[in-house]
Structure 1
């Protein structure tokens, strides 16, 4: 059965031929005029136009490569590169508190300002954050540090909401997992490259010390480039998918209607609240992994190596998850159930290994002046903790990929996607703010670990009903537009049979 003989609302992701593949094989597509839609053919293959989902996703990935990717490299060292994580904890508490507010309402800003300007503004905060850490090496500037953390929270809330909106609303239904894999791989390569900076500068440092000013300067330059790159993006209204369809957007958004849209999102799919615990814990485990494991137990050069392996594992996991989540031979509702089961198994396997390692030390035993000797990669027995930390990175990517895919499976609407991601980043940041504050108060490593394992298990249990009962094999366009000002004719390609039929019939 061909797609031309079917309503777009009745095509499921196991029946639909891959639009991207159709384009690559040279299928005809009537694109708008203008430089953004020029196509090039190299070595017998068509390259996607500038305003295509693939090109825009790659560009967004490189923005995140430069900005949050470098931020993750700093955080992966534990304490923002410092031996004492207290300053970083306090900055991150301010960061995620602000992030929670602006992440929660981020969809409103994305729909009003557009993804290009939202991402560009978002990138500025990362650069200021690194500048404040550089200044604090030689000067006591807690006010500036807290301001930089809070400002980054505002910027990051907007950046990640814009990024998430692009990632789950630009692709067609049967490409969402693959697009996540592309993005997550490029984005985390930023953290890998960022980890090489302190690794190279501290190759011979066999003790645990604060990184040098040169490390921070390198991060600042790369973050600034990322913010400028965001200005080269197209806005969502200009994007044309390979099947000729466009991203669903509101015609004339207003601040009032956009805030109302947050409520409409919950009314449209109230079951999404069952994903909130997964959102809450999705950044909770970073503090334990980066500060209480990597930052507390290893030499500076080994922390950099561990961080590099952690983010490499994320790339590998994203590639695996992206492919498996889009397997067309298995119905999407079945894939959702399998994903939940695999996450449940990984939670108890990986964190079970983490429990065995956590029992070997405490805050008091590794504190300065305790006589503790930091573990180096030349220390006998290092391989076990190294693999544990690598699997922590693998688990993080699997968890995040699953959340994005679950949200994308609930809706194809750009407006609802922005609001889903806003909920995700806002609630995620509340959890991060809480756990950073607890770490600054020197909560015991054992309690930190237990909080991670328990919250992850509970989150999976609470999310089970929405994953098992509400994720369908396909979301109809009519359902996506319920409660909005759009009509089906507004979002179908101009030559789609259903649109032509409605226009002829006066619908």
Structure 2
């Protein structure tokens, strides 16, 4: 019992890394998770996905730019203001769907603005999530974040399911969007309570890092250096793949195979299983070996096996239909076999998503422990992730064959995992928990604040 108390004793202090990770988890519970529920309905909850596809393309195009600049904004503004601005743009985006039938251009413009806000929010989230935890608990903290974040997706999935239970129109009602906006407003309020990184203290009394707020010129130079970082360039295909698959999963499985109320219910399962996936991957990355490199390779091996399984099943499912020959929409009350098969596939892909995201946050976190650097790494990750997503949504909008969408997604995932294996394999096989000169053992020898 004492071990459990010691493990979670940081919950008693507001400025502890654990509490701050929990708080960013609840912020993402309220904002990005509700956005994910809306996107997961296919077409933004509308019967025809064209406007939603175009808005998401605009969103991820600007996200690709401001994701990269988000680390700079974080280092200049700090987490509180940076994340509050991000939450505000999430509310604007959902609100734009209330005017969908009268002003489609506003939805696209709001998507472009959300790309700015999402870049700010996720750069702050990434810096906090990767730099605040102690080295031996990074996997646990990352999985805790994803559990809280995806709990938002689970509970949010009940909103369109319950509010549209008797609706046969094929599009969600206005009350659904209003409910999402109310929850996002709570996330914006929570963001105002975050501590400055300078004030975050670990249980051993040490600060997470010494933060020196930067200037625009210096940050610009540091961003350019990211494109010369060999490890980041090797990880680039994995970053591009990390949101690429959402288009296929949301539009062409959930959106194309199920009616609107069932899509909401499916998202409860999709985001629910993500909590399990993040916990499992977090355990592998923290406990499967005493050696950090061995744990990373174990996580990658599990990810490769499950990716082959999940997308192999997706291929078998895809061969049953096409854009020109769509099946009749399924309802959750249909016969068990008709509904359970595609639902099981959708759930499996949700499991893979959280394991994949947890794994790559952990890999980035093993490169350095410096908050300012990790905010830039996180921005680089989100920039490439968003660029991939923008391409993916437009591939779907031009009505590319569904089989092509599936295969390009699968190939990109496997390429990313293969190159990530090189990065982890070449990393130092150190035994974490070892302390030298009062510092935790990290592989980044050039970092004076966190030497090996």
Contact 2:82 / 2:124 at 8 angstroms: preserved in 1? yes
Can you give the 5+ residue segments of structure 2 that lack an aligned partner in the other structure? Answer: 433-438
Contact 1:24 / 1:47 at 8 angstroms: preserved in 2? no
In structure 2, what is the Cα distance between the partners aligned to 1:181 and 1:478?
20
TM-score computed with the length of structure 1 as normaliser: 0.83
Please tell me whether residue 379 in structure 1 is matched to residue 334 in structure 2: yes
In structure 1, what is the Cα distance between the partners aligned to 2:72 and 2:42?
33
The aligned counterpart of 1:270 is: 230
Q: How far 1:482 moved relative to its partner?
A: 3.4
The aligned counterpart of 2:435 is: none
Residues 126, 252 of structure 1: alpha-carbon distance in 2 compared, 3 angstrom cutoff: closer
In structure 2, what is the Cα distance between the partners aligned to 1:286 and 1:279?
13
Can you give the 5+ residue segments of structure 1 that lack an aligned partner in the other structure? Answer: 1-19, 27-44, 367-371, 493-507
Residues 25, 417 of structure 1: alpha-carbon distance in 2 compared, 3 angstrom cutoff: closer
The aligned counterpart of 1:152 is: 114
TM-score computed with the length of structure 2 as normaliser: 0.92
Residues 252, 383 of structure 1: alpha-carbon distance in 2 compared, 3 angstrom cutoff: closer
In structure 1, what is the Cα distance between the partners aligned to 2:58 and 2:173?
24
The aligned counterpart of 2:152 is: 190
Q: Judge which range, 256-265 or 96-105, deviates more.
A: 256-265
1:3-152 equivalences under 5 Å are: 24=6, 47-136=11-100, 138-139=101-102, 141-152=103-114
The aligned counterpart of 2:379 is: 422
Q: Judge which range, 463-472 or 332-341, deviates more.
A: 463-472
Q: How far 1:358 moved relative to its partner?
A: 0.5
Contact 2:281 / 2:299 at 8 angstroms: preserved in 1? no
Contact 1:48 / 1:54 at 8 angstroms: preserved in 2? no
Contact 1:297 / 1:374 at 8 angstroms: preserved in 2? yes
Please tell me whether residue 225 in structure 1 is matched to residue 186 in structure 2: yes
The aligned counterpart of 1:402 is: 359
Residues 319, 156 of structure 1: alpha-carbon distance in 2 compared, 3 angstrom cutoff: same
Contact 1:132 / 1:144 at 8 angstroms: preserved in 2? yes
Could you tell me which of 386, 401, 408 is aligned with 1:444? 401
Contact 2:154 / 2:267 at 8 angstroms: preserved in 1? yes
Contact 1:336 / 1:471 at 8 angstroms: preserved in 2? no
Contact 1:409 / 1:471 at 8 angstroms: preserved in 2? no
Q: How far 1:413 moved relative to its partner?
A: 1.1
Residues 256, 306 of structure 1: alpha-carbon distance in 2 compared, 3 angstrom cutoff: same
In structure 2, what is the Cα distance between the partners aligned to 1:432 and 1:143?
20
In structure 1, what is the Cα distance between the partners aligned to 2:22 and 2:284?
20
| Residues 455-495 of structure 1: per-residue CA shift (max 9 Å, x gap) | 11121222221121125435977975837xxx54xx89xxx
Please tell me whether residue 434 in structure 1 is matched to residue 391 in structure 2: yes
In structure 2, what is the Cα distance between the partners aligned to 1:196 and 1:76?
13
Residues 297, 220 of structure 1: alpha-carbon distance in 2 compared, 3 angstrom cutoff: same
Residues 271, 57 of structure 1: alpha-carbon distance in 2 compared, 3 angstrom cutoff: same
The aligned counterpart of 1:304 is: 264
The aligned counterpart of 1:323 is: 283
Residues 166, 377 of structure 1: alpha-carbon distance in 2 compared, 3 angstrom cutoff: same
1:203-222 equivalences under 5 Å are: 203-205=165-167, 209-222=170-183
The aligned counterpart of 1:260 is: 221
Q: How far 1:25 moved relative to its partner?
A: 8.3
| Residues 435-471 of structure 1: per-residue CA shift (max 9 Å, x gap) | 1111111112111111111111121222221121125
Q: How far 1:79 moved relative to its partner?
A: 1.0
In structure 2, what is the Cα distance between the partners aligned to 1:46 and 1:95?
37
Please tell me whether residue 336 in structure 1 is matched to residue 293 in structure 2: no
In structure 1, what is the Cα distance between the partners aligned to 2:428 and 2:108?
41
Contact 2:75 / 2:213 at 8 angstroms: preserved in 1? no
Q: How far 1:216 moved relative to its partner?
A: 0.7
Higher Rg = 1
Q: How far 1:351 moved relative to its partner?
A: 0.5
Contact 1:62 / 1:226 at 8 angstroms: preserved in 2? yes
Could you tell me which of 195, 201, 212 is aligned with 1:251? 212
Please tell me whether residue 360 in structure 1 is matched to residue 315 in structure 2: no
Q: How far 1:181 moved relative to its partner?
A: 1.1
RMSD, aligned CA? 2.2
In structure 2, what is the Cα distance between the partners aligned to 1:208 and 1:454?
37
Contact 1:410 / 1:471 at 8 angstroms: preserved in 2? no
In structure 1, what is the Cα distance between the partners aligned to 2:152 and 2:88?
17
